[in-house]
Structures are given as C-alpha cells and as structure tokens.
Chains A and B, each alone.
Chain A
Amino acid sequence: MVGLGDRGLTMSSATRAIATDPALATPPASAGRARRSRVKWGPLLLLLPAIAVVTMFFLVPLVDVFIRSVTDPEPGLQNYEWLLTNPVNLEVLARTFLTSLIVTVVCLLVAYPYAYLMTIVGERARGWLTLFVMLPLWTSILVRTLAWMVLLADTGPINDFLEAIGVGRQPLIRTTFGVALGMAQVLLPFMVLPIYSALAKIDRRLLAASSSLGANGLTSFFKVYLPLSRPGIFAGSITVFILGLGFYIIPSLLGSPKEAMVSSLIYQQVSVFLLWGQGAALGIALLVVTIIILVVFNRFVRGASLAPGVEPE
C-alpha cells in the first residue's frame, strides 16, 4: 500500500530525469511510456479495498492454513503422509470431485435448454423465466434442503406417488442421486445465467447464414451455435464445479456417510479430533487439486477461460 505511493513518486521523478537528461530525450516514445504507466497505476488505487480484503481474509488465513499443515503438531510432512497413506482421504477426495462433476453435468443439461428458451421468448416471459431461476437463490439453502428431505424421504410424497403408480418405493434420500439433485437445484442459477448471457450475444443471422449454405438444423447447432456458446458453458461449468466442491450441508442431510464429501472430513479433523494439521493438509490438498484441474482444463480445452464471464480471445 505504501509501495503504491512510493511508486507514484518514483514515476514522476523518472519523468523529470527523462526530461532533463538529453541522452534519454527521445521525447515521443518515452513520454508516451511514462504517461501510459501513470494512467495504468492510477486506477489501481481502486483495487486497494479489494486487495486489503483479499489479503486480510483470504491470503493470510490461507498462509496460516498452509503453515499449520507442515507444523502442527510438529514440523514436517507427516500430515501429507497421513493424507496420502490413508485410503479414506483419497476415496473421499475422489468422491468429492466426482459428485461435483455429476452436479456440473446435470446443471449443464438442465440449464442449456432453459437458457436457450430465455433467448427466444418475449420480454415478459423472459422476466418470468429469470425470476424462476433467481427465486431459489433468495431462499435459505437450509430451508431448500429440508424441503428436499421431506420430498425424498422413504415415506415422502415422491415415494408415495411411485408406489401408487406401481413402480414401488425407491431409495432417493441417502443416495448420490439425492445429493446431486439437491446440489444441482442450488447451483443451477450459476449455470443458467452465464449460458444465457453467452447465448444472448450470438448473432442469430449466423444461423440463417449456415442454413442458407445448406446446413440442416442439427448441423447449424453443432457447427455454429454450440461453439459460439462455449464461453458461457465454460464459465458456468467452472463456477458450478468449484462451488460444488465445498458443499457440506447438502451431502450431510441428503446423503448417507457414503456420500460424505471432503468438507465433512475437514470439519471432523478441525472441530472433533482437533487435529488441525491434518485438517489443514486436507484443505490444501483440495485447493491444489482444484487448481491443477483448472490449469489442465484451461490449457487443453479450446475456448476455456479461467476467468468466467470474460471471453477468451
């Protein structure tokens, strides 16, 4: 923070030095550079509140968590050794990524047609459709999950219906299906909105152009429309996937122990066993694996963007 002011001073003295030193005086280029620098740094001041908040509430705790993972209860890598040699940890980590992936796919399959519908209906209908997407976001996650518990219960209305039509009662709650359903419902808006914003930008004349060039509807969709909507798909998928990794309440309430995700493992280490080093190691592992997945994704999937909402060049 002090550094920024310091930097401003340095820049103006640099400009002075350039102005007075004939050897450096190639006016247009260097003056231009100095001005550009000043213009670049000024707006950065606007970032100060964000930097302060991120540092205080994200970076510092993160560094603290990392330090704990290699010092608690004693310096060394024993917490990571425990993490890698205990099959439960690896199984639950793998289960966490798999569950989040399932939820992402489910959200995508539901959200894409929905977002498409939003682009073709009139202003009024779009308003309603947007409201229906946003409505769950304005309701407490706990209330929604409790509602699912009632609906999915072995003696709940869905099972009553299934029995009435002769299908028989099915296990819905305490299954991966139940967890995925509950999570997908909560995360759906994060998929619908970016996809809608990508679809809304697509110039529909391109579809007309492709059909005038002989493409049928399916070909137009897969060759023209889908590729153009990719930024929205990636933005939505990454957001849903990452948010899904941290879910705790829904897997606990709608799942059995066999659906527990890594957050409940971390909670247990931190708040029950008081083995903070091991909890910290689990947290760091989740972060690192997530970053690796994102980097690989970004690197090898064409059109992917690590900054959702920002279109890749």
Chain B
Amino acid sequence: MHTSSPGRRRARTVTLGIAAVVALAGCGSSEPEPSATYDLGTPVAGEVPEGVFEGVTLTFAGSGGIFQDGQTTAAWTPFAEVTGATFQQDAFDPGKLKAMVESGNTTWDLVNTTQFDTARFCGTLYEEYDYSKVDISKVPEGTITDDCMVPQILYGLVVAYNKEAFGDNPPTSAADFFDTEKFPGTRTVSMSQYVDPQMLEFAIVADGGDTANLTPEQIPTAMEKYRSLGDDVIGWTSGAQAQQQLESGEAVMGLVWSGRGYGAAAAGAPVAPMWDEWMVMVDSTGIPKGTKNLDAAFAAVNFYGGAEQQATMTEETSYGPVNTEAKPELDETLKTWMTTDNLETGHYPNVDFWVENYDALATEWSGWVTGG
C-alpha cells in the first residue's frame, strides 16, 4: 500500500495493458506452411496437364479495367478450366503486398507489378522464379531483368503527337519533345503518384545520354528538364487522363503509355506514335513471397506465356505480347501502335541503376508530383 501510490499503480496498469496488447498483436505471424510441389515435367509455354490443380485456389492481383479482364479471358479462365483450379481476381496495391508478406499471411499468388519493384524486393517480397518450371524460350530478349519476374506485357512510354498540329513535319527524336520552338504547344507527361524511372531516362536520352550508363547526378537534371518546359507542360495523373488530354487536343504531344496513345487514336483523335525513340516497358508477373501455391503459380505463368494466350491478351487489351511467336489479329490502327514491331528503336531501362538509386529517384519524383 505505502510503496505503491495510486498514480504509479495506474501508470503500471496502463503500461501492462499496452504491453499485453502489443504482444497479442505481434502473435499474428507464425511459420508459413510449406508450398505444395508438383512434378509437371519440362514446361512448354501455354501448356499445362489436365486436372492437376483440382482444389487449388489461385489469386491474381492485377491493375483492373480492360487490362485485367483481357488477361482473365486470355489465360486465367482457360487455365482454371484445364487444371481444375479456381482463379480469383483482386486489385493490386504494393503497400498491401508488403503488409501481407510481413504479417506472414500471403493471400495473393500472382501480381501485376513493375520490373523495378520485383528487382528491389526480389527474395524479400517476391519469390525467386524456378526458370526450369516456366518456358521462357519465347520471351522477348532482354526483358527478364531480375530473378523474381517474367514479363507480363510489353508496352512503352511513347511520344504520341497530334498529326494536325505538326502536319508533314512531326517530331522524330526525344530532343524534339523538349524543343518548344520547333514544335510549339502544350505537352503532357506523367505527374502520377506512380514513379516512372523511364520518364527520367527519356529526358536523359534527349540530352544525348545512354540508359546503359547512368550516373546519380543525372537524376535531378532529368527532372529539371521537364520543369524547364514551364507553362508548356501539363501533367496526367492517370492513363485515362493522358488519353483524354490527347483526344481533346489540350496537349499536342504527350509522353504516354502506348496503350493510351492507341486509345486516343482508336477513339478517332488524329494522334500518332513517334517510334524513332521510345522507352521499352514491361510489367512483371511477380509471385508474392510466402504463397502456398508456388508450383501452381509457376504453371500459371507458363500457361499465360503461350503464343495463343498472348495473341488473345493483345487483341483484348492492345498491350504487346510477351511471346515472340504470338500472332494477334490487329486492326490497322493497332498495328501502328504495336510496340513489339518497333523494338529496334526502343531504349531498354537500366533496372539495376534505379534499384541502387531508388531513394534519390523517390525524392525527385515526389517533388515533381507535389509541385515542390
């Protein structure tokens, strides 16, 4: 009684209470169950034995819209039909993935993410691929950039310009994009939350740089190049907005995802791609660390990469296939926007450089998108 004043007692009770709750909250993570293994023999892209995944449920977290719908039509639904697996769809969010993996409760088996993120978190947030279980012989050369990814689509960051604004003298280089005297008018570039290192690479290329040899000093300089456009540059914060700005003529030029440039052209806007210099982009199919269905996920990626599946995926989504033998049937407009027909003039990203200099990139990018 005498040693314990009410105040101190109360303090101790509260501390104990907090400690107990913290301890309880910490109990969430336990040892993950081992993933089931299957022997499916030598993989052939697009093929999978019948009925092997009866009772298995796979979840794909994608980017929504016609993109995810097209992927589902092209690969996930047929895969489920052949193997007996159940395929579920969810919306991808990198933060959610990290929380999932950290709490030891991974509920996604396949995700659509960037090649920079699979490279940054290979082995921590993403499972390493066993490339003996996925047929990668038909994957476009140079697009597998770390051990935790197989490309999911091949698209691009492309200059889309208004044909009416520039007539017979369209822009033909990255430098032209920044030349407001020769090519006057408003440009649109990404001001989206989603950091895009290749937008910086584009500015570096415009200055005569080479994406294979980048230095940290080029990061702020590249961002500055966009700022130097002053009133001639506006931002897009979503692909839909980029497309709308091109369609309405609000921007006479845009550095946009190829699918969105195509979208504007398909809607009837006089918009054309500049293939003379463009940035080759791929999205990764990542497999979240701790999945209970590692082998089934490999089999699904292997199936997804089939020539037929990729042809359907391209027809459904307009995004380039990641199988060099895919023969999608394209209309005239889409043919002019097909990244895979223009690979020789594309610049490939320096993924290792951006992984190493990610903090500097993040700082520059958040300054760019918050007007700082």
**Distance in angstroms between the alpha carbons of A51 and B98 in the assembled complex:** 29
A10 within 8 A of B: yes
B345 within 8 A of A: no
Q: Are A257 and B370 in contact (CB under 8 A)?
A: yes
With A1-B17, A273-B195, A273-B362 already in contact, the answer to whether A268 and B369 are too (CB < 8 A) is yes
Chain A: minimal CB distance from B77 (Å): 29
A274 within 8 A of B: yes
Q: Are A274 and B94 in contact (CB under 8 A)?
A: yes
Q: Are A59 and B362 in contact (CB under 8 A)?
A: no
Which residues of chain B have C-beta atoms less than 8 A from A60's C-beta? 18, 21-22, 25
Nearest A residue to B4 via CB reads A10
Binds B, one of A86-94, A186-194, A303-311: A86-94
Which residues of chain A have C-beta atoms less than 8 A from B371's C-beta? 256-260
Q: Are B372 and A88 in contact (CB under 8 A)?
A: yes
Chain A: minimal CB distance from B16 (Å): 7
Which residues of chain B have C-beta atoms less than 8 A from A17's C-beta? 1
B334 within 8 A of A: no
Q: Are B98 and A3 in contact (CB under 8 A)?
A: no
**Distance in angstroms between the alpha carbons of A51 and B371 in the assembled complex:** 41
Q: Are B193 and A276 in contact (CB under 8 A)?
A: no
What string of 1s and 0s marks CB contacts (under 8 Å) between B108-121 and chain A?
00000000010011
Is chain A's interface secondary structure helix, strand, loop, or mixed overall? helix
B57 within 8 A of A: no
- Partner among B98, B195, B369 whose Cβ is within 8 Å of the Cβ of A260: B369
**Distance in angstroms between the alpha carbons of A246 and B362 in the assembled complex:** 22
B1, B98, B117, B367: which has the most chain A beta carbons within 10 Å? B367
**Distance in angstroms between the alpha carbons of A14 and B9 in the assembled complex:** 15
Further pairs besides A256-B235, A274-B95: 6, Cβ < 8 Å: A86-B363, A267-B193, A271-B193, A273-B362, A274-B94, A276-B98
Chain B residues with CB under 8 Å of chain A are 1, 9-10, 12-14, 16-18, 21-22, 25, 93-96, 98, 117, 120-121, 125, 191, 193-195, 235, 237, 358-359, 362-363, 366-372
> What would be 29 A-B contacts, judged by CB atoms less than 8 Å apart?
A2-B13, A3-B10, A3-B12, A3-B14, A3-B16, A3-B17, A6-B13, A10-B1, A17-B1, A59-B18, A60-B21, A63-B18, A88-B363, A88-B366, A252-B237, A257-B370, A258-B370, A260-B370, A264-B370, A265-B370, A267-B193, A268-B369, A271-B93, A272-B94, A272-B95, A273-B195, A273-B358, A274-B121, A276-B98
